[in-house]
Amino acid sequence: MTLEYSNIFDVITEDKAEASELQTRSDLMIAIRDIINAKKWSQGDAAEQLGLTQPRVSDLVNGRIEKFSIDKLMTCLYRVGFRFKPVFADNKLTMTVEFVTA
């Protein structure tokens, strides 16, 4: 018998909302880690840009998902210029992501 999951976090919780929330946090952490790598920031540089301490950046790049809320991760993205605009229309939710320069 083979079990299949569309979300890896479905394995650790039966609560679909919790699994989705964990997946969203994971996706945001990966995106932030990719930004850090693309900009070639040291953990100290990343801490300054993201408004975190260096140990918190270490937690982030090492995938310690339990240490971060969606709110905190979104704030990190806001600090480096990203803006999010959710729109609900025609019974569908979409999210536009923009990069805003100062």
Please determine, for residue 61, whether its predicted confidence score (pLDDT) is greater than 80. Answer: yes
Number of domains comprising the chain: 1
CA–CA distance, 90 with 2 (Å, rounded to integer) = 37
Please determine, for residue 87, whether its predicted confidence score (pLDDT) is greater than 70. Answer: yes
Residues 6+ apart with CB under 8 A from 85: 95, 96, 97, 98
Q: Is 23 exposed, middle or buried (0-12, 13-18, 19+ CB in 10 A)?
A: middle
**For residue 72, what is the domain's CATH number?**
1.10.260.40
Query: Has residue 48 been placed in a domain?
Result: yes
Higher local confidence (pLDDT), 23 or 10: 23
Query: Has residue 2 been placed in a domain?
Result: no
Query: Has residue 5 been placed in a domain?
Result: no
Query: Has residue 95 been placed in a domain?
Result: yes
Q: Structural domain of residue 30, as residue ranges? A: 13-99
Query: Has residue 6 been placed in a domain?
Result: no
Query: Has residue 67 been placed in a domain?
Result: yes
- pLDDT at site 93: 96
